[in-house]
Chains A and B, each alone.
Chain A
């Protein structure tokens, strides 16, 4: 056993010793250590393992030799290899060329940029290779009647196509749903407005009818209120309204008055002070009229100041 009498500094150990100690520590048996000490390879004191700094092999010469051995003298047509940088990225240039430093290096973490880099590299190769291929007489497009087995089966391609279509359909559906939602919101607003408008109109109409029934207004304009718009043809409307007025109005008026709602029906004629003093039905023209002009007998020229019963009845009906 190695006696630990004094501590030694690490630096005093030689590289060789450290190697040896590494080798021996792989066995790490007391016997081996004893032997090493006897031989003089291990000095007394604290022996620590020092790790050799790891050197990486890079045998450039050997590799070049290997490469020359490996190389076969085949024309390009057999190998079809190309080495080229990618095509210029138009979008990056337009965007101000912010990846100026990264032109040669591609950032492996940015997925999209990386894949676009590979794509452009492939594109550059294809553009370079096509004229060369045509020179050697190799076609890149197969004719339409050339049916051969493909790397992916037709079934698989069908699946792919279905998936793409379904993706598109989903997007369209979501777009439609969004639009519908917007429309519904808008439609709801419009609906509310229309209902409110209708309610307002109804209220106005009811109040106008009530006013008329109570006798506050004698115009029936509110009935045509909806029809008469500001810019309308007034002559046409006036004809219509006059027709409306004359038509059922007098009879209707009487009937409404007699059988309709609101107001007293009986007890309208009373011999009161007011009715006695009421001279509204006095027609001065009629009262002071001198009878019809013409050669009539003096005796017959009786002033018919008060018409007869039937005429009076007719007048009553008309008013």
Chain B
């Protein structure tokens, strides 16, 4: 399919340069190719060196449902930007069932799919699936930061192949191992893909922390592993893994997953409980005060223990007392006080 798209007479810029790089790598093939070039120069543009070497035919369909906000849209665009083996599609109506996505994938000839679903204009869910038969997983996406953020100062070639780095925790559990395989197949750019660049200049990390998967993308600057973040970055919270694509029996459920609705509900309940408790305390206090208190009977013989103070002579002052010397307030001015406090 990509051969049909190729320009006649000219080459796609990325591919042209790729040929040069390939020459460096495979020296033996270049003389033969040069000869071929000279022969066919007039009629047919010679195919690039990497023709026929693209075996890993992986295509990812990235699209979303309706009702997404700008951040999600940018995230999607960024992922499409980073993955040259991706394809875009129009937004899907939410009234369609999810298995329709399988048909869309088939039409577009894709075998992986990343589907973003937004609910309530607040929560973003991501489906990742292997299209015809394979497993699929649903995640809740949080903490999205896109490529366009100014804090992410790195940059990489468009369509360059990434290195994928995983936590050792991914090998310990069965569900994580399955997810690892899915991620590898989805995110790694196939070698000799026509839109790819032959260099490896960025690395994508997947780490497990706090029972969530953290996604980061770094640019490799130096050979001694100096890195700068390119972005995007997000956090995936696994919900379920299904055996089929967008359906089928459940293989795994995340025990620690709390749906965002439940989370918000809990917060609201907590706030309500606090208010109610305060009210109850007030009421109980009122009741206590309104209670009829038992009279305290005082003992008549208690007077025995009273020791009155000795009588003081009565002094009548005819003249006003001298004014006391008012000490000038030694309080320093506000600015001085602030400085002293800071010190």
Contact = CB atoms under 8 A, between A and B. Distances in A.
B161 interface: yes
18 contacts: A58-B253, A63-B178, A67-B177, A69-B133, A80-B161, A80-B200, A82-B163, A119-B218, A122-B205, A122-B218, A124-B165, A126-B203, A133-B200, A138-B25, A148-B197, A151-B81, A160-B150, A163-B150
Contacts of B181: 67, 70-71
B200 A138 contact: yes
A262 B147 CA distance: 91
Interface stretch (A15-23, A139-147, A193-201, A217-225): A139-147
Interface of B: 13-14, 17, 21, 25-26, 55-56, 81-82, 130, 133-135, 147-148, 150, 153, 155-159, 161-168, 170-171, 174-175, 177-178, 180-182, 184-185, 188, 190-191, 197-201, 203, 205, 207, 209-210, 212, 214, 216, 218, 220, 223, 225, 227, 230, 241, 243, 249-255
A151 B188 contact: no
B164 A82 contact: yes
Contacts of A121: 165, 167, 205, 207
B174 A84 contact: no
Given A77-B191, A118-B214, A149 B157 contact: yes
Nearest to B154: A152
A37 B200 CA distance: 71
Interface residues of A, number: 61
A159 to B, nearest CB: 7
A150 B243 contact: no
B157 A150 contact: yes
A59 B252 contact: yes
B168 A84 contact: yes
Contacts of A114: 209, 214
A79 B167 CA distance: 16
A38 interface: no
B230 A83 contact: no
A118 B14 contact: no
Given A81-B184, A150-B156, 7 more contacts: A70-B130, A70-B134, A83-B167, A84-B165, A126-B225, A140-B220, A149-B14
Contacts of A241: none
A146 B17 CA distance: 7
A156 B74 CA distance: 15
